[in-house]
């Protein structure tokens, strides 16, 4: 099988020749730039004075380029929207250096400045004429959103304020998707994973709107979560407007890329904490389920795409709802959270939803375990998840900055030893 056939078989719950593997296709399956630099150095892929290109600046994810894709035997390539989490394009790269000394390339409008405490401030659309929208703490690795909650009247809320970021995709946006998908389809045999914008309902990473210069509406994280209980009618109005736009954008994107895409990222909304769901099943079904189902139903009726849902934490009580809503794939499969035992998940849901992730714990084992502990855990996870297909190997969320390169290599060695059917 080639990679595209391998992924298709796995997502259709059939056993391919080996378990497909992904690192770098999505914003939740990637590798942080500092660790990627060490990985490329280990495999002899770093050229003299080479820098890591940042392809997702909010989480400082590095580009998993064709050289590393080939060496690691990766099966998936990602296509992302024209603009990133800060509202500017990843283009016209310039040199920059992380706090730990890692040399990177960042986009032209990556216009940062330090504050009085040595933190790095980032600005929406690269515009210093407005308050900063994010901050990288001194000696840190990632950006945190800065809450810019303007005054609002709780008795006169306007749903349009919380939906200003949802608009019809431009011809330029669609041309970008078409160009990138066609290039990946014609020049590789890898499965294509497309990140579709505007379909994640209440994704808390997006609520503060790091990409808007002057966000309106409810933009404070705590206020948004409280509004789910206090203002459900308002939240539903926001989701209704968002859905109308998303359906039209799905039609436009499908016209631009057709059947060349295998996987479409639809939702990054996290519903789980480490110990359990953050909302009840009834709240999920009333507030989120109808809108997710409408979008997934459109995809399944009109395209061959598989829909991808990212949802962290302890979410087992909600999984039945996710499946009924039409999601084909669950990521990151956080087995380290309560009530998320791999064997239970596979036995109870594995024939109805594919697991993309769960291959190794990125909270403890991968950053802090020994190489042998990493190999043992990867071997155990593969044994559980591989049966009857329905599994794409990836870690639990992105490979973080504190992962020793020998542990990453140990993970790949265990995968290679156990991936064949």
Does residue 78 form part of some domain?
yes
Q: Which residue has the tokens 């997502």?
A: 11
Does residue 120 form part of some domain?
no
Does residue 243 form part of some domain?
yes
Does residue 166 form part of some domain?
yes
Does residue 224 form part of some domain?
yes
Q: pLDDT confidence of 77, banded at 50, 70, 90? A: very high
Whether this prediction's pTM lies above 0.95 is answered by yes
Number of Cβ within 10 Å of residue 90's Cβ equals 23
For range 2-12, the mean pLDDT: 98
Does residue 327 form part of some domain?
yes
pLDDT tens sequence across 266-301: 999 999 999 999 999 999 999 999 999 999 999 999
DSSP summary character for residue 284: I
For range 26-36, the mean pLDDT: 98
Structural domain count, the chain: 1
Does residue 98 form part of some domain?
no
Q: Contact at 8 Å (CB) between 142 and 58?
A: yes
Residues 6+ apart with CB under 8 A from 143: 57, 58, 59, 60, 120, 122, 134, 135, 136, 210
Looking at residue 152, its pLDDT comes to: 85
What torsion do the CA atoms of 48, 22, 273, 349 make, to the nearest 10 degrees? -170
pLDDT tens sequence across 119-167: 999 999 999 999 999 999 999 999 999 999 988 899 999 999 999 999 9
Rounded Cα distance, 265 and 19, in Å: 20
What kind and span of H or E run contains 349?
A: helix 342-349
What kind and span of H or E run contains 327?
A: none
Residues 6+ apart with CB under 8 A from 221: 145, 147, 204, 207, 208
Give the residue from 159, 201, 407 showing the smallest Cα distance to 289: 201
**Residue-range definition of the domain harbouring residue 45:** 3-92+147-418
Does residue 138 form part of some domain?
no
Looking up residue 182, the CATH number of its domain turns out to be 3.20.20.210
State the alpha helices, DSSP H only, in 56-170: 66-72
DSSP summary character for residue 92: S
Alpha carbons within 13 A on the beta-carbon side of 66:
6
């Amino acid at each position: 099988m080639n990679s595209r056939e391998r992924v298709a078989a796995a997502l259709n719950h059939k056993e391919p020749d080996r378990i497909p593997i992904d690192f770098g296709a999505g914003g939740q399956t990637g590798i942080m730039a500092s660790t990627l630099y060490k990985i490329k150095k280990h495999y002899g892929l770093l050229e003299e004075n080479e820098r890591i290109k940042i392809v997702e600046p909010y989480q400082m994810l590095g580009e998993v380029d064709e050289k590393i894709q080939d060496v690691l035997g990766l099966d998936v390539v990602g296509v992302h929207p024209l603009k990133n989490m800060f509202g500017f394009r990843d283009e016209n790269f310039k040199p920059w250096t992380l706090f730990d000394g890692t040399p990177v390339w960042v986009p032209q409008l990556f216009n940062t400045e330090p504050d009085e405490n040595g933190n790095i401030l980032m600005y929406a659309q690269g515009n210093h004429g407005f308050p900063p929208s994010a901050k990288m703490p001194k000696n840190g690795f990632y950006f945190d959103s800065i809450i810019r909650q303007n005054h609002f009247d709780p008795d006169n809320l306007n749903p349009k304020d919380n939906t200003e970021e949802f608009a019809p995709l431009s011809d330029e946006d669609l041309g970008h998707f078409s160009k990138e998908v066609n290039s990946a389809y014609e020049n590789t045999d890898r499965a294509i994973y497309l990140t579709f914008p505007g379909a994640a309902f209440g994704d808390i990473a997006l609520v503060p709107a790091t990409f808007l210069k002057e966000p309106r509406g409810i933009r404070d994280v705590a206020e948004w979560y409280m509004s789910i209980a206090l203002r459900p009618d308002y939240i539903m109005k926001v989701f209704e407007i968002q859905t109308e736009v998303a359906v039209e954008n799905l039609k436009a994107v499908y016209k631009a890329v057709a059947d060349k895409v295998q996987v479409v990222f639809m939702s990054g909304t996290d519903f789980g904490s480490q110990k359990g769901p953050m909302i009840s099943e009834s709240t999920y079904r009333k507030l989120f389920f109808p809108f997710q189902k409408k979008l997934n139903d459109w995809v399944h009726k009109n395209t061959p795409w598989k829909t991808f849902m990212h949802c962290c934490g302890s979410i087992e009580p909600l999984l039945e709802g996710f499946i009924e809503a039409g999601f084909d794939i669950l990521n990151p499969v956080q087995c380290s959270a309560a009530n998320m035992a791999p064997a239970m998940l596979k036995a109870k849901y594995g024939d109805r939803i594919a697991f993309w992730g769960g291959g190794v714990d990125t909270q403890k084992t991968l950053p802090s375990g020994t190489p042998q502990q990493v190999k043992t855990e990867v071997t155990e996870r593969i044994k559980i998840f591989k049966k009857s297909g329905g599994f794409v190997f990836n870690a639990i969320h992105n490979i973080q900055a504190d992962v020793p390169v020998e542990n990453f290599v140990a993970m790949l060695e265990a995968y290679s030893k156990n991936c064949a059917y």
